[in-house]
Amino acid sequence: MSQVAHAPEHPTVTGIDNRKLLMWVFLASDCLFFGSLIATYLIYFGRSVVGPYPHDILDIPVTSVSTFVLLLSSFMFVLSLAAHTRGDYKAFRVWVFCTAVLGSTFLGFQVFEFQHFVHEGLTPRTNLFGTTFFTLTGFHGAHVTIGVVWLLTLFFLSLRGKLGADKNLAVDLAGLYWHFVDIVWIVIFTVIYLTGVALGPGVGK
Amino acid sequence: MRPHWLLALIAAIVLPGIFVAWMIWGGYEPNLPQSTFQADGPVGKLQKDLFWIIFWSATVIFVVIEGIFVYAIFRFPRRPNQPIPPQTHGHQTLEIGWTIAPAIVLAVVAVPTVSALWQIYNVPEEKAGLAIEVRAHQWWWEFKYPNQGVVTANEVHMPVGTRVHFTLHSDDVIHSFWIPKLGGKLDVIPNHSNVIWLQGDEPGEYYGQCAEFCGEAHAFMRFRAVVDTQADFDKWVAAQKAPASAAATGAATTGEALFMGKGACTACHTVAGTNAKGVIGPNLTHVGSRTTIAAGIMPNDHENLVKWLSDPGGIKPGNKMATVIGKSIKLTPDEVGALATYVQGLK
Amino acid sequence: MASIAVARRESTFWDTVWGWVTTVDHKRIGALYGITAFIFFMIGGVEATLMRMQLARPEQTLVSPDVFNQLFSMHGTTMIFLAIMPLGAAFFNIIIPLQVGARDVAFPRLNAFSYWTFLAGGLLLNSSWFLGGGLNAGWFAYSPLTGLTYNPGHGVDFWAVSLLVLGTASMAAAFNFIVTIVNMRAPGMSLTRMPVFTWMTLIVSILIVTAFPVITVALIELVFDRAFGFNFFNVFAGGDPLLWQHLFWVFGHPEVYILILPAMGIVSEVLPVFSRKPLFGYPFIIFSGIAIGVMGWMVWAHHMFTVGMGPVANTVFTLTTITIAVPTGVKIFNWVATVWGGQLTLKTPMLFSLGFIAMFIIGGLSGLMHAVSPSDAQQSDTYFIVAHIHYVLFGGAIFAIFSGIYYWFPKATGRLMNETSGKIHFWLTMIGFNLTFFPMHFVGLNGMPRRIATYSAGMGWDFWNMVETVGAFVIIAGILLFLHNFFRSLRKGEVAGNDPWDGRTLEWAIPSPPPEYNFERIPVVHSRDPFWEQKHPHPLGVPAGASQQRPGNRAQQPAVAHAAETHEVIHIPSPSYWPLITALGNAIAGYSLVYRFIPGLFIGGALTMFGLYSWYMEPTVKHENKKH
């Protein structure tokens, strides 16, 4: 760490960089945000007055594919962080770009799904399921979008040679965020898709 | 040298004492119409008795802690040239003591609390007694007696000594159903049908008021509960089931014509036995028999009726009647007088 | 505050303005927070006064019911989100870095962003008065009264959007203080040596970052319903009005502790100093604070005892709620024990802190009364509750805030506030407060519902309502005297010196006002009251929390002076206007959301992103960057 003199930071009490601690606290806070949205979804589960209901419309196979894509992107990011840490910036750029592409693919699936649902007659105004479904998955999609922009920013910064070893933390932070968004999706996938369909038409109204 | 201990002791007794005395002298007014200090039914009594247990426990705690605190303030002033006092950081036994002591007090208080709570809120499936359906509107009350076939508004009658189950409905916003002298309140919430039971043990007229903020005229959403003897209650039910009395005088006949015609009152109000079948406003079949008008805010007399019919928006801002009376429907003072005479005759 | 400004090289008026606009100095941001919040406090006070005048006699028509409804809705919102919370934030900003021995907060520009966003949210909310009227559905804004059907105006939109903006500000500030307190304490300041005010700030910040996401979701749901026709609270689509209440109070109860814990922290600082004794039972006070913070999450439905949750839920929430009395009691007992056997100097800060305890006990006990759900059914939504919350939030929080202002004013400005005026202010406040709020217990128990625009003459509430109104004017007299004292003391107050009160914590070891960099050398801490130990080397044994292993060295290592290095470069973060630009983007997006003007939403959002991006790219310390 030859460039330490450049960094104005003092050593911290915990040994964790301030920005990293900030990210952890932010993610804790975001847990409560998604927790409240998921709670709303669950409270209203089965309380829609009119259809379409979850089991009428949710497509598990397609969403399983998009879930896999997002999981794969997390794996790609692990590779990109590892590459950056060992100083292989070219590999870093390849993997981080792949991560962003996979993230965008996930978003593509989501846009397709939303359009399909609207076509099937489910909008946020249709019933409680539509309202809670679009809000919850929409806010997750917004998080993914911010993540993709962030990843691409790192990619271009690295292209311009502005993401050297002293900026390893910046990559690390993006990773924390990206993995978090991924984990949230796994919860959402379980709660909305798997549970919603598994409980069947009788309950999932 | 402790020159201040007596002064400190006096202050420690007097200062908290002022608050206790003030509370009792200023606060205890059971004769006021909505005072919770007088309970004329079992629910209210449970709540009042419980209140006194908590109140006196709290008062004892208050006097003791504030007393010690005030004593300390007066007892330990800084004097010139004092050496630094002992830098005590704490006391293990004291800490344990004053953690456990309040916990014990609270545990003791919890027993009558939970007991009262289940008696009040545990409504059995089999509801003995009288059933009344309450429908709260912005800003008036509708009462329906499903087993008696009676519909009325803003004045609910209940027989003395009988357990009454009120099922609470709302089609608009949240309200709260409260007759202080009979018992505590329960909210009236759309998509929920809460059930509250109350019982009046003393015949009389009781004040009720909406206790959840419900919009512009929330302050004017009151009602009356009349606890009748069983005989009076039966008489009342019989009277309510009868169709509206016909217009008796000339002015009343004019008023009836206005009610059914130009006044367009029928769009919102029902008068059983006539063409008036509106359901937006209160049922007026026997409005003349009620003690108040406009949801318990004015005594039911000719002068007030004229005031109300001339300018409902001025008396109860935001109410639905105010959107038509004086706007799309303009009545002369003579017409208003006739209308009031007719309405008052609906006994 | 003028004397902070003096420390800078600023020549013209506009230089001064620019200096304040771009400042990232925690002390200046604290001053901005304090002054802004006090102005909002006075606006909230005017709203309260109008209500008291309306209710002084029965059947008055000074204001219409609609205006009255706006007054109490805006009064509650203003006092909670624009006065007490940011006044707390003002103390966090000015005091925390000084108490933990840091040169600034962890993220100075984020701090500036918090302030500007708070200002934007406050102005957004209050501008509704001039744009068709404010919120008229109560500060709790129960659905469905906030739905478009019952509330077609923009008051609800202004309220919901401004609370989203204010929530952003609060959360940003809380992130900052968590990181600052956890990561930037001076060497040797372990958690068990941290000043109580810092501890309470940490707990409050954790409550903010966990509770505000919940209200954020509730507000988003409300805004989506109103702006885009979603169904969250649409009763006809099966929506449940109680969902709003649960979300609101899951946030709302921790919020109560967000308001009161900083006050408890201030009092825990003031009492030891003016008693010349350490805080009694420090670990118990800290642990009680943590317990209150945790238990605050388990009691929310006690705001909903009358919604018909059934006997099981009412029993559970009754029991959890009365349990909170235990840690609260422990705190009070420890404060009383701190005073006991001390040497009390009844200066104004001490008077307000003592007043806090005396009044908070009343508020706590009335709280216990309506924790008991069966009898609460008679008290809920009456003036008895109004009395309770004011004993907690005025008798509690506001008394402590005044205590804190009198206590830290000399540190922030270098001058003392006038003692005589201060004492008169205290007694006016104490008497006025009790005249205003004590009789509310009476009228409440005698059946007066809260939030009613007027009442009939025959109800028997006239006399005490008149007394309450008179009391309100006594409070106002006190506030006016305070303002006079404040501004006069800024210019003409007695020069304070570093340590006017014989303080115990680090902030009293440095000059008043503190230099921009606070500590010339980062202090090394050896005990819980580092500065006191330095001044009064323990004649009575090893102080609590002191290092066990090397007690002999303490005399050679005073708390505040020596750090290891000698030629340390002090890095002062550069001023920046990007936080302001980012906050401006939020404000534009906010107004657009209120008026459902979608292009404006994108413009505001784009400006926010642009501000954030430029902020991300801007070097924190400019002169260093040139060394490349």
Torsion of CA B150, B151, B154, B157, to 10 degrees: 10
Alpha carbon of C212: minimum distance to chain A alpha carbons (Å): 8
> For B202, which DSSP code?
S
Percent with pLDDT over 90 in chain B? 72
Task: Kindly state whether B209 is in contact with chain C, defined as any CB-CB distance less than 8 angstroms.
Answer: yes
Report whether B157 contacts B141 (CB < 8 A). Answer: no
In chain C, residues 563-592 whose CB comes closer than 8 Å to chain B: none
Structure confidence at residue A2 as a pLDDT band (50, 70, 90): very low
Chains in contact with B via at least 3 Cβ–Cβ pairs below 8 Å = C
End-to-end CA, chain C: 37
CATH code of residue A166: 1.20.120.80
Question: Where in chain B are all domains bearing CATH 2.60.40.420?
Answer: 126-241, 251-344
Residues of C in contact with B99 (CB under 8 A): 284, 326, 329-330
pLDDT tens-digit map of A133-178: 999 999 999 999 999 999 999 999 999 998 988 899 999 999 999 9
Structure confidence at residue C575 as a pLDDT band (50, 70, 90): confident
Task: Kindly state whether B17 is in contact with chain C, defined as any CB-CB distance less than 8 angstroms.
Answer: no
Q: Return the number of other C-beta atoms located less than 10 Å from residue C71's C-beta.
A: 22
Task: Output the average pLDDT for chain A.
Answer: 90
- Asked whether the beta carbons of residue B186 and residue C337 sit closer than 8 angstroms, the reply is no
Q: Which residues contact C400 (CB under 8 A, 6 or more apart)?
A: C262, C263, C264, C266, C267, C352, C353, C356
Q: Higher model confidence: residue C626 or residue C313?
A: C313
Percentages helix, strand, coil for chain B (3-state, rounded to 5) are 45, 20, 40
Highest mean pLDDT out of B112-121, C254-263, C558-567 = C254-263
Collapse the DSSP code of A110 into the 3-class scheme (helix H, G, I; strand E, B; otherwise coil) and give the result.
helix
Cα distances from C481 to residues A79, C288, C347, in angstroms, run: 66, 36, 17
Can you give the pLDDT at residue C177?
96
Measured CA to CA, the distance from residue C9 to residue C22 in angstroms comes to: 14
Q: Higher model confidence: residue A41 or residue C618?
A: A41
- Asked whether the beta carbons of residue C346 and residue B194 sit closer than 8 angstroms, the reply is no
Residues of A in contact with C101 (CB under 8 A): none
| Residue keyed to tokens 């329906």 | B144
Collapse the DSSP code of C240 into the 3-class scheme (helix H, G, I; strand E, B; otherwise coil) and give the result.
coil
Percent with pLDDT over 90 in chain C? 81
The partner residue sitting opposite C183, judged by closest CB among A16, A35, A48, is A16
Mean pLDDT over residues A107-126, rounded?
95
Can you give the pLDDT at residue B327?
83
Task: Kindly state whether C132 is in contact with chain A, defined as any CB-CB distance less than 8 angstroms.
Answer: no
- A126 backbone dihedrals φ, ψ, rounded to 5°: -65, -55
Q: Is the pLDDT of residue C562 over 80?
A: no
Mean pLDDT over residues C411-433, rounded?
96
Residue span of the structural domain in which A177 resides: 76-198
- Asked whether the beta carbons of residue C175 and residue A25 sit closer than 8 angstroms, the reply is yes
- Asked whether the beta carbons of residue B212 and residue C330 sit closer than 8 angstroms, the reply is no
Can you give the pLDDT at residue C5?
40
> Taking the model in full, what pTM does it have?
0.93
Task: Output the average pLDDT for chain C.
Answer: 90
Measured CA to CA, the distance from residue B281 to residue B274 in angstroms comes to: 16
Q: Is the pLDDT of residue A64 over 80?
A: yes
- Asked whether the beta carbons of residue C374 and residue B55 sit closer than 8 angstroms, the reply is no
Task: Kindly state whether B96 is in contact with chain C, defined as any CB-CB distance less than 8 angstroms.
Answer: no
Report whether B345 contacts B252 (CB < 8 A). Answer: yes
Q: Is the pLDDT of residue C176 over 80?
A: yes
Superfamily (CATH) of domain B251-344: Cupredoxins -  blue copper proteins (2.60.40.420)
Question: Where in chain B are all domains bearing CATH 1.10.287?
Answer: 3-79+89-121
Measured CA to CA, the distance from residue C480 to residue C505 in angstroms comes to: 31
Q: Higher model confidence: residue B86 or residue C43?
A: C43
Q: Name the strands in the sheet holding B222-228, side by side, starting at the edge strand that comes first in the sequence.
A: B155-159, B222-228, B204-209
Collapse the DSSP code of C58 into the 3-class scheme (helix H, G, I; strand E, B; otherwise coil) and give the result.
coil
pLDDT tens-digit map of C472-482: 999 999 999 99
For chain C, what are the domain ranges?
23-541+554-627
Q: Is the pLDDT of residue C567 over 50?
A: no
Measured CA to CA, the distance from residue C506 to residue C182 in angstroms comes to: 17
Instruction: With CA atoms as reference, report the closest residue to C224 among C245, C244, C253.
Output: C244
Task: Kindly state whether B167 is in contact with chain C, defined as any CB-CB distance less than 8 angstroms.
Answer: no
Measured CA to CA, the distance from residue C306 to residue B183 in angstroms comes to: 12
Can you give the pLDDT at residue B84?
87
Mean pLDDT over residues C535-557, rounded?
52
Residues of A in contact with C620 (CB under 8 A): 8
Q: Higher model confidence: residue B123 or residue B90?
A: B90
A9, A131, A150, A180, best to mutate vs chain C, most C CBs in 10 Å:
A131
Task: Kindly state whether C431 is in contact with chain B, defined as any CB-CB distance less than 8 angstroms.
Answer: no
Superfamily (CATH) of domain C23-541+554-627: Cytochrome c oxidase-like, subunit I domain (1.20.210.10)
Can you give the pLDDT at residue B122?
80
Task: Output the average pLDDT for chain B.
Answer: 91
Residues of A in contact with C228 (CB under 8 A): 124-125
> For C585, which DSSP code?
H
Q: Describe the crossing of helices A168-188 and A128-159 by its angle, rounded to 10 degrees.
A: 160
How many structural domains are present in chain A?
1
C96, C185, C217, best to mutate vs chain A, most A CBs in 10 Å:
C217
* H or E element, residue B134: strand B130-137
C230, C235, C617, best to mutate vs chain A, most A CBs in 10 Å:
C230
The verdict on residue A151 lying in a domain is yes
b/e string for C132-158 if b means 16 or more Cβ within 10 A?
ebbbbbbbbbbbbbbbeebbebbbbbb
Instruction: With CA atoms as reference, report the closest residue to C558 among C579, C593, C529.
Output: C529
Largest separation between any pair of C-alpha atoms in chain B: 97
Q: Return the number of other C-beta atoms located less than 10 Å from residue A23's C-beta.
A: 22
Residues of B in contact with C370 (CB under 8 A): none
Can you give the pLDDT at residue A133?
96
Can you give the pLDDT at residue C552?
40
- A181 backbone dihedrals φ, ψ, rounded to 5°: -60, -35
The partner residue sitting opposite A40, judged by closest CB among C184, C209, C221, is C221
Collapse the DSSP code of B225 into the 3-class scheme (helix H, G, I; strand E, B; otherwise coil) and give the result.
strand
Alpha carbon of C624: minimum distance to chain A alpha carbons (Å): 7
CATH classification (class only), B126-241: mainly beta
Q: Is the pLDDT of residue C622 over 80?
A: no
- C230 backbone dihedrals φ, ψ, rounded to 5°: -70, 175
Looking at this protein, which amino acid is placed at residue A205? K
Token readout for C390 is 């004011």
Alpha carbon of A79: minimum distance to chain C alpha carbons (Å): 25
> For B192, which DSSP code?
-
| Residue keyed to tokens 């001490």 | C350
Torsion of CA C167, C172, C176, C178, to 10 degrees: 40
Q: Higher model confidence: residue C198 or residue B327?
A: C198
The partner residue sitting opposite A8, judged by closest CB among C220, C247, C624, is C624
pLDDT tens-digit map of C45-104: 999 999 999 999 999 999 999 999 999 999 999 999 999 999 999 999 999 999 999 989
CA A169 to chain centre: 20
Can you give the pLDDT at residue C545?
54
Residues of C in contact with B85 (CB under 8 A): 275-277, 341-343
Residues of C in contact with A157 (CB under 8 A): none
DSSP string, B314-343: HHSTT-GGGGTBTTTB---HHHHHHHHHHH
Cβ contacts from B onto C, under 8 A? 308
* H or E element, residue B144: strand B140-145
Report whether A77 contacts A178 (CB < 8 A). Answer: yes
The yes/no answer on whether domain B3-79+89-121 falls in CATH 1.10.287 is: yes
pLDDT tens-digit map of C355-369: 999 999 999 999 999
Can you give the pLDDT at residue A205?
44
Residues of A in contact with C217 (CB under 8 A): 33, 36-37, 40
| Residue keyed to tokens 């991006």 | C613
The partner residue sitting opposite C340, judged by closest CB among B72, B99, B178, is B72
- Asked whether the beta carbons of residue C213 and residue A32 sit closer than 8 angstroms, the reply is yes
